[in-house]
């Protein structure tokens, strides 16, 4: 079961990663002579109301999700969460108290609302900042390449990712720091960073892996939600959330007719989102059984 | 236990003050000059400066924060930038109430479906129906509301004409059924999962075996001994689930055209009416924190086995 989930995830992710090779059309090429077409040999999943090829848009949308999940995984969960968990759990005292209280304040908010607030207030700041960089250094295309969108989403998703991971690692470290082999290492005069990374970190790896695979479905969904609201990835860059929003009611009454007449356009992006969340959960379950046999 | 409750009660206002500070800071770095937004595009420089002074925008940040939180305590979240002359609370109050009603309806659905199903799955452990329920609920849990909402509209409203496709008509109307189901079903999946786990934990306890050995009917054992004790840890989930559903309800409101907090927050973003957005976020946090506080306190009272330090 978990293995099947993993294969599906690898398949979906490779669709996204190899999108430039696998696309059959340019994802933003508008062809008004072929709007709202049903799936055909020419357009494998049909076309949307602007005549854009849905298959190409879906795989590029997956690429967006892949980039977001991987960057938030590395920055939010691993760098911030694990480091802070190690520090808080090992040193305890005021540093632990500060990190925990900050986390408590952040987790006091309903997730989605907080993410929306962050994305909405930070976007113009970050876009302006990127424009300044473009103006002053001569690097061009920073804003139009979509990197800024990824940064905005990445920062907005941070509160979702770091605290859970930090609390998990902290709990493990709190137990480990009293272990005899750590005491022995300390007695032998080993430096603190060396103890942390050589002796403690390897022992928290397996719960971290489980937590990551449970969390990634949520991260993917949050990106889709942000883009659905129009706060994440901006058109013309494709995103599964933008595609879903185009068909459902995001833009108001105008698109209800699209939903009624062409509901099949929703199918591909939604199934991809659904599969991603479902499979990350199954993989998490399977990893949990394998890596933490004592948990159940 | 009393010390724990007192500590929680003392910490909660501090927590909320920090939350308010965070929200206030986000509001103050939000794009656009509030004075300009209030006065509109044709305002002169001098009048904008005057308006800034009147709104107290030239004061240092700590002063403004203290003024903000002083207002928030009294229920005053400031004035809307967009609807001139109306307070934020006037605008979001009714919308928040709509969202709360929707979430209560969804919670009821989640509990009514989730609890018995989880209990049933646990009782059937070892048979095929247990894994079938668990996997089935995981499928439903993973199903994004983007899917269920349009599907329900197309199937129940457009095709079967059972209920209206969209809109809001109060708590006691048929229109609430579809959106509440959309939010409630993934919520039910969470309850099934935890109800099953906690029932399995209770079922193996010795007092359950004793009750059975005394010859009590299986109905009494199931409901008085197993279900009641299994329900206890689920209580702590209520707040958590409510928070998750609240997030989902924002999207559901958009798709179903319900005039709730979701619509309001989105409008606020695109009209740059940040006092409304920050107030919504802060009120969301207040409700969540208070709900969790009440649940935790009730939990420690209801279950005497809990010893918190």
> What's the ipTM?
0.80
Q: Which residue of B has its CA nearest to A274?
A: B143
Residues of A in contact with B27 (CB under 8 A): 121
Q: What is the mean pLDDT of residues A218-240?
A: 82
Please tell me which of the candidates A101, A108, A231 has its beta carbon nearest to residue B269.
Answer: A231
Q: What is the mean pLDDT of residues A87-108?
A: 86
- The Cα B197–Cα A95 span in angstroms is 35
Q: How far is CA B5 from CA A102, A198, A228, B8, B12, in A?
A: 21, 40, 41, 5, 11
Is A211 within a domain?
Answer: yes
Decide if pLDDT at A70 tops 80: yes
Is A38 within a domain?
Answer: no
Is A34 within a domain?
Answer: no
- The Cα B67–Cα B57 span in angstroms is 11
Q: Report the number of distinct structural domains present in chain A.
A: 1
Task: Please enumerate in sequence order all residues whose Cβ is within 8 A of that of B221, keeping only pairs 6 or more positions apart, or say none.
Answer: B208, B211, B212
CATH number at residue A63: 1.10.3720.10
Please tell me which of the candidates B30, B165, B247 has its beta carbon nearest to residue A112.
Answer: B247
pLDDT, tens digit, 9 for 90 and up, residues B138-168: 888 878 787 788 788 878 877 777 777 677 7
- The Cα A158–Cα A161 span in angstroms is 5
Q: Nearest-CA distance from B141 to chain A in Å?
A: 8
Bridge partners (DSSP) of residue B87 are B79
Taking an 8 Å Cβ-Cβ cutoff, which residues of chain A contact chain B? 101, 104-106, 108-114, 116-118, 120-125, 217, 221, 224-225, 228-231, 244, 247-250, 256, 259-260, 263, 266, 270, 273-274, 277-278, 281-282
A266 phi-psi bin (left φ>0, alpha ψ -120 to 50, beta other): alpha
Q: What is the mean pLDDT of residues B99-121?
A: 89
Q: How far is CA A93 from CA A99, A194, A200, B279, in A?
A: 10, 20, 19, 34
**pLDDT for the residue A254:** 43
Radius of gyration of chain A (CA): 22
Burial of B162 (0-12, 13-18, 19+ CB in 10 A): exposed
Q: Which residue of A has its CA nearest to B15?
A: A105
B285 has a chain A CB within 8 A of its CB: yes
Bridge partners (DSSP) of residue A53 are A47
- The Cα B141–Cα A23 span in angstroms is 31
Average per-residue pLDDT for chain A: 80
Nearest to B112 by CA among B198, B189, B190, B188: B188
Q: Nearest-CA distance from B214 to chain A in Å?
A: 30
Q: Which residue of B has its CA nearest to A124?
A: B31
3-state SS track over chain A: CHHHHHHHHHHHHHHHHCHHHHCCCCCCCCCHHHCCCCCCCCCCCCECCCCCEHHHHHHHHHHHHHHHHHHHHHHHHHHHHHHHHHHHHHHCHHHHHHHHHHHHHHCCCCHHHHHHHHHHHHHHHHHHHHHHHHHHHCCCCCCCCCHHHHHHHHHHHHHHHHHHHHHHHHHHHHHHCCCHHHHHHHHCCCCHHHHHHHHHHHHHHHHHHHHHHHHHHHHHHHHHHHHHCCCCCCCCCCCHHHHHHHHCHHHCHHHHHHHHHCCHHHHHHHHHHHHHHHHHHHHHHHHHHHHCCCCC
Decide if pLDDT at A293 tops 70: no
B157 has a chain A CB within 8 A of its CB: no
**pLDDT for the residue A132:** 82
Contact B147 A270 (CB under 8 A): yes
What part of B 91-130 touches A (C-beta under 8 Å)? none
Contact B19 A108 (CB under 8 A): yes
Bridge partners (DSSP) of residue A47 are A53
Is A36 within a domain?
Answer: no
Contact B250 A248 (CB under 8 A): no
pLDDT, tens digit, 9 for 90 and up, residues B229-278: 888 778 777 777 777 777 778 888 888 888 888 888 888 888 878 888 88
| Residue A189, token pair as written in the block | 């005069």
Contact A118 B26 (CB under 8 A): yes
Decide if pLDDT at A16 tops 50: yes
Distance, C-alpha A107 to centroid of its chain: 18
- The Cα B279–Cα B78 span in angstroms is 9
Decide if pLDDT at B303 tops 80: no
Please tell me which of the candidates A111, A118, A259 has its beta carbon nearest to residue B247.
Answer: A111
| Residue A87, token pair as written in the block | 């520090």
Please tell me which of the candidates B15, B141, B154 has its beta carbon nearest to residue A105.
Answer: B15
Decide if pLDDT at A253 tops 50: no
- The Cα B94–Cα B83 span in angstroms is 15
Q: What share of chain A in percent tops pLDDT 90? A: 0
Please tell me which of the candidates B26, B244, B254 has its beta carbon nearest to residue A117.
Answer: B26
B291 has a chain A CB within 8 A of its CB: no
Q: What share of chain B in percent tops pLDDT 90? A: 1
pLDDT, tens digit, 9 for 90 and up, residues B75-94: 777 777 777 777 888 888 88
pLDDT, tens digit, 9 for 90 and up, residues B45-58: 777 777 777 777 77
**pLDDT for the residue A249:** 56
Q: Which residue of A has its CA nearest to B29?
A: A121
Residues of B in contact with A263 (CB under 8 A): 150, 154
Residues of A in contact with B153 (CB under 8 A): 259
Q: Which residue of A has its CA nearest to B288?
A: A108
Contact A266 B257 (CB under 8 A): no
Nearest to B238 by CA among B194, B286, B176: B194
Domain assignment of residue A151, given as a range: 2-29+43-295
- The Cα A214–Cα A195 span in angstroms is 28
**pLDDT for the residue A50:** 67
- The Cα A91–Cα B196 span in angstroms is 38
Please tell me which of the candidates A123, A225, A256 has its beta carbon nearest to residue B251.
Answer: A225
In a mutational test of the A interface, the residue from B193, B239, B247 whose CB has the highest number of chain A CBs within 10 Å is: B247
Angle, helix B274-302 to helix B261-270, in steps of 10 degrees: 150
Is A105 within a domain?
Answer: yes
Q: What is the mean pLDDT of residues B38-50?
A: 76
Please tell me which of the candidates A113, A221, A249 has its beta carbon nearest to residue B144.
Answer: A221
| Residue A143, token pair as written in the block | 């804003």
- Does the reported pTM lie above 0.90? no
Residues of B in contact with A224 (CB under 8 A): 144, 146
**pLDDT for the residue A234:** 79
**pLDDT for the residue B14:** 87
pLDDT, tens digit, 9 for 90 and up, residues A255-271: 455 666 677 777 788 88
In total, the C-beta contacts within 8 angstroms joining chain A to chain B are 123
Q: What share of chain A in percent tops pLDDT 70? A: 88
**pLDDT for the residue B83:** 75
Contact B255 A105 (CB under 8 A): no
Is A238 within a domain?
Answer: yes
Decide if pLDDT at A34 tops 50: yes
Is A37 within a domain?
Answer: no
Contact B150 A250 (CB under 8 A): no
At which residue do the structure tokens 């002083």 appear? B70
**pLDDT for the residue A161:** 81
**pLDDT for the residue B258:** 85
pLDDT, tens digit, 9 for 90 and up, residues A111-149: 888 888 888 888 888 888 888 887 887 776 666 667 788
B283 has a chain A CB within 8 A of its CB: no
Please tell me which of the candidates A108, A266, A281 has its beta carbon nearest to residue B285.
Answer: A108
pLDDT, tens digit, 9 for 90 and up, residues B190-213: 888 888 888 888 888 888 888 888
Bridge partners (DSSP) of residue B79 are B87
Contact A121 B16 (CB under 8 A): no
Is A35 within a domain?
Answer: no
Residues of B in contact with A225 (CB under 8 A): 247, 251
In a mutational test of the B interface, the residue from A1, A107, A112 whose CB has the highest number of chain B CBs within 10 Å is: A112
| Residue A59, token pair as written in the block | 């795989």
Q: What is the mean pLDDT of residues A81-94?
A: 87
Decide if pLDDT at A251 tops 50: no
Contact B144 A124 (CB under 8 A): no
Q: Nearest-CA distance from B125 to chain A in Å?
A: 14
């Amino acid at each position: 079961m978990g293995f099947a989930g993993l294969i599906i995830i690898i398949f979906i992710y490779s669709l996204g990663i190899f999108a430039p090779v696998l696309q059959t059309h340019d994802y933003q090429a508008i062809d008004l002579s072929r709007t709202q077409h049903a799936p055909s040999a020419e357009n494998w999943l049909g076309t949307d109301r602007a005549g854009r090829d849905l298959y190409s848009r879906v795989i590029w949308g997956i690429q967006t999700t892949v980039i977001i999940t991987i960057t938030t995984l590395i920055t939010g969960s691993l760098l911030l969460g694990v480091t802070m968990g190690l520090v808080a759990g090992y040193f305890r005292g005021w540093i632990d108290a500060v990190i925990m209280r900050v986390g408590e304040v952040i987790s006091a908010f309903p997730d989605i609302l907080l993410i929306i607030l962050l994305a909405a207030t930070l976007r113009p700041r970050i876009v302006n900042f990127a424009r300044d960089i473009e103006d002053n250094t001569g690097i061009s295309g920073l804003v139009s390449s979509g990197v800024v969108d990824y940064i905005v989403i990445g920062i907005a998703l941070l509160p979702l990712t770091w605290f859970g991971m930090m609390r998990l690692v902290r709990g493990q470290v709190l137990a480990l720091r009293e272990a005899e082999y750590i005491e022995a290492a300390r007695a032998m005069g080993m430096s603190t960073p060396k103890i942390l990374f050589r002796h403690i970190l390897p022992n928290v790896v397996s719960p971290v892996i489980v937590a990551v695979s449970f969390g990634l479905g949520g991260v993917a969904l949050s990106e889709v939600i942000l883009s659905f609201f129009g706060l994440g990835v901006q058109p013309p860059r494709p995103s599964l959330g933008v595609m879903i929003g185009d068909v459902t009611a995001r833009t108001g009454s105008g698109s209800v007719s699209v939903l009624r007449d062409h509901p099949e356009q929703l199918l591909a992006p939604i199934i991809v989102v659904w599969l991603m969340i479902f499979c990350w959960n199954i993989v998490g379950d399977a990893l949990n059984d394998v890596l933490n046999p004592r948990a159940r | 236990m009393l010390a724990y409750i007192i500590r929680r009660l003392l910490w909660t206002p501090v927590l909320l003050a920090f939350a308010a500070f965070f929200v206030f800071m986000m509001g103050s770095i939000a794009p656009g000059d509030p004075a300009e937004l209030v006065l509109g595009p044709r305002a002169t420089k001098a009048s904008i400066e005057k308006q800034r002074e009147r709104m107290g925008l030239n004061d240092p940040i700590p002063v403004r924060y203290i003024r903000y939180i002083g207002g928030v305590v009294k229920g005053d979240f400031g004035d809307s930038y967009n609807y001139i002359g109306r307070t934020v609370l006037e605008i979001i109050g009714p919308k928040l109430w709509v969202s709360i009603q929707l979430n209560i309806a969804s919670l009821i659905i989640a509990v009514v479906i989730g609890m018995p199903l989880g209990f049933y799955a646990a009782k059937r452990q070892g048979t095929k129906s247990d894994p079938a329920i668990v996997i089935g609920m995981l499928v439903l849990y993973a199903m994004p509301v983007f899917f269920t909402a349009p599907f329900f509209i197309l199937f129940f409203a457009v095709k079967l004409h059972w209920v209206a496709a969209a809109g809001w008509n109060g708590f006691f109307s048929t229109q609430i059924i579809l959106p509440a189901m959309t939010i409630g079903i993934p919520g039910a999946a969470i309850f099934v999962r935890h109800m099953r786990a906690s029932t399995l934990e209770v079922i193996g306890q010795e007092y359950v075996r004793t009750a059975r050995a005394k010859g009590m009917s299986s109905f009494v054992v199931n409901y008085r001994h197993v279900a009641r004790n299994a329900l206890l840890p689920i209580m702590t989930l209520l707040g958590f689930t409510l928070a998750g559903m609240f997030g989902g309800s924002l999207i559901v409101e958009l798709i179903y055209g319900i005039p709730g907090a979701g619509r309001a927050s989105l409008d606020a973003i695109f009209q740059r009416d940040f006092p409304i957005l920050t107030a919504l976020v802060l009120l969301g946090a207040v409700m969540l924190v208070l709900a969790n506080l009440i649940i935790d306190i009730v939990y420690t009272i209801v279950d005497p086995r809990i010893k918190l330090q």
